[in-house]
Structure 1
Amino acid sequence: MKHAFTILASGFRAVRISARRLTIAAALCGVFQATSATAEIALVFGTYAADKPTTTVRKYKPFLNYLALQMTEVLGKPVSITMKIARDYETGIDHLAEGQVDFARFGPASYITVRERNDGIQIVAMESKGGNKRFKGVIVVHSDSAIPSLSALSGQSFAFGDELSTIGRYLAQSHLIEAGITSHELSGYDFLGRHDRVGTAVGARRFTAGALKESTFNKLVASGVPIKVLFEFDNVTKPWLASSGLDPEILAAMRLVMLNTTDPGILDSINKDGFVEGTDADYDFIRAAMKHSAAF
Structure 2
Amino acid sequence: MSLASGQPYTYKTRNPLKNCTVPQGTARDREWSRRSAKYPLALVGAIGWSATTIGAWPAIARWLTVALAAALLVPGPRATAVQPAPYVLAVHPYLSAQEVRKRFAPLAEYLGRQLRRPVQVRVGSNYEEHISFVGQDAVDFAYIGPAPYVTVVERYGPKPILARVETKGTPYLNGVVFVRQDSSMQSLADLKGKRFAFGDPESTMGSIMPRFALFEAGIRLQDLARVSHVQSHDNVVLGVLSGDFDAGVVRADIYDEMAGRGLRKIAELPRVSEHLFVARSDLPSQDVRRLRRALLQLRSTPEGQRVMHAISTEMTGLVPASDADYDGIRKILWTLAREKR
Alignment TM-score, normalising by the size of structure 2: 0.70
Quick check: which one's helix share is greater? 2
Match of 1:274 in 2: 317
Which amino acid is 1:289 matched to?
Answer: I
1:184, CA displacement in angstroms?
2.0
Which amino acid is 1:227 matched to?
Answer: L
Match of 1:287 in 2: 330
Matches within 5 A, 1:147-186: 147-186=185-224
* Percent of paired sites with the same residue: 28
Alignment check: 8 A CA contact 2:177 2:250 kept: yes
Match of 2:109 in 1: 65
1:236, CA displacement in angstroms?
2.2
Alignment TM-score, normalising by the size of structure 1: 0.80
Tell me whether 1:196 sits opposite 2:234 in the alignment: yes
Give the 3-state SS of the residue equivalent to 2:212 in structure 1. helix
1:279, CA displacement in angstroms?
0.8
Give the 3-state SS of the residue equivalent to 1:79 in structure 2. coil
Which amino acid is 2:106 matched to?
Answer: P
Alignment check: 8 A CA contact 1:89 1:165 kept: yes
Question: Equivalents in 1 of 2:285, 2:319: separation in Å?
Answer: 19
Give the 3-state SS of the residue equivalent to 1:274 in structure 2. strand
Tell me whether 1:117 sits opposite 2:160 in the alignment: no
Which amino acid is 2:242 matched to?
Answer: A
Q: Which structure 2 residue ranges, 5 or more long, are not aligned? A: 1-80
Alignment check: 8 A CA contact 2:272 2:328 kept: no
Structure whose CA Rg is larger: 2
Over aligned residue pairs, what C-alpha RMSD do you find?
1.8
1:292, CA displacement in angstroms?
2.6
Match of 1:141 in 2: 179
1:40, CA displacement in angstroms?
4.0
Question: Equivalents in 1 of 2:333, 2:243: separation in Å?
Answer: 28
Matches within 5 A, 1:67-82: 67-71=111-115, 78-82=116-120
Larger RCO of the pair (alpha carbons < 8 Å, separation 6+): 1
Q: Deviations over 1:100-151 (max 9, x none)?
A: 1010001101101111122131211111113311132100112111112111
Question: Equivalents in 2 of 1:120, 1:149: separation in Å?
Answer: 39
Alignment check: 8 A CA contact 1:162 1:193 kept: yes
Question: Equivalents in 2 of 1:268, 1:93: separation in Å?
Answer: 25
Give the 3-state SS of the residue equivalent to 1:159 in structure 2. strand
Q: Which structure 1 residue ranges, 5 or more long, are not aligned? A: 1-36, 72-77
Give the 3-state SS of the residue equivalent to 1:258 in structure 2. helix
Quick check: which one's strand share is greater? 1
Alignment check: 8 A CA contact 1:137 1:235 kept: no
Out of 159-168 and 123-132, give the one that drifted further: 123-132
1:235, CA displacement in angstroms?
3.3
Match of 1:230 in 2: 266
Aligned pair count reads: 252
